[in-house]
Structure 1
């Protein structure tokens, strides 16, 4: 890899590393697992970077590689990446200071508890949705059609309603 390409990768990774940290928090439950997953995602990003054509935003591509790596590792070894015991207090989704109060905090806690019950792909879709990604970006990231992303999200919303209002 050329020095210019290497510099571009490092710059992009530094600017967007919060994406990788959020994915790691979502799919791990301790610091060692977080660090291991962060390292593995970074390695996969590094390997794939020369093939990145720029057809999508770097952050969208990074979400896709990161989520795919996390899901693949989870499926290979459930003891290394544990989604069931994740503490969602550490996952920070965008919310403005004006919106944040005790009521919102309680609602978020209930919602995160419900999200814990979803499968890995559904969690990834909700994660991207809560990050204010549009359906085009979600579909590109997860490798599904935009229509499929919308349908899945509607089904997930219904599933979450059922979990929250039994």
Structure 2
């Protein structure tokens, strides 16, 4: 039996508090990168495990959500790459959408647009999907840059291209 030192206990408590406060990040990423409930549960666990392993290297002078996003997205992208040859694990958010449809909108057209956006996101490559999720979370270009490890100008360029692709996608689907 391992005896925890006071520092380890403090670290564990701090980690658990931060993870609990920002658990929505993990859940959103898992839902965005895993198709089935079992896969989402596994991915959520993998993300939490990797966050715990990396926590000793976390710099508290930096925003925890940025650090968390970066690790969670890296784990999720790795998960997709490992499983991509076997099956398509990207998101149809329909289950989550169905559960929260009343919260999102009571407008049928709005619900259709939300489903269109979710289909568009699920069709994107992992990096673009991550970028869209961060954009929809209203993260700054600087934070997106830090999370994804790409330059701010690259973030801006990619966001603009994704917006145009979304407009084209919506037009093709009859949602001008």
Bucket of the pairwise TM-score, normalised by the shorter protein:
0.7 to 0.9
- Contact 1:73/1:81 (CA < 8 Å) preserved in 2? no
Q: Distance in 2 between matches of 1:9 and 1:98?
A: 31
Q: How many residues align?
A: 160
Q: Distance in 2 between matches of 1:81 and 1:24?
A: 14
Deviations 1:43-78 (A, max 9, x none): 110111110113431111111100110001211222
Identify the residue that residue 3 of structure 2 maps to in structure 1.
none
Structure 2, unpaired ranges of 5+: 1-6
- CA distance change for structure 1 residues 98 and 159 in 2, over 3 Å: closer, same or farther? closer
- Contact 1:9/1:49 (CA < 8 Å) preserved in 2? yes
The SS at the match of 1:165 is helix
Question: TM-score, length-normalised on structure 1?
Answer: 0.87
Listed as ranges, the matches of 1:53-92 within 5 Å are: 53-78=59-84, 79=86, 82-83=89-90, 86-89=91-94, 90=96
Structure 1, unpaired ranges of 5+: none
Q: Distance in 2 between matches of 1:88 and 1:54?
A: 33
Out of 33, 36, 39, the residue aligned to residue 30 of structure 1 is 36
Rg: which structure is higher?
2
Higher RCO structure, 1 or 2 (CA under 8 Å, sep 6+): 1
- Contact 2:66/2:146 (CA < 8 Å) preserved in 1? yes
Shift of 1:3: 1.0
Identify the residue that residue 110 of structure 1 maps to in structure 2.
116
Residue 147 in structure 1 maps to residue 147 in structure 2? no
Q: Distance in 2 between matches of 1:30 and 1:98?
A: 22
The SS at the match of 2:35 is coil
Q: Distance in 2 between matches of 1:80 and 1:37?
A: 15
Q: Where has structure 1 moved over 4 Å in runs of 4 or more? A: 97-100
Shift of 1:81: 7.1
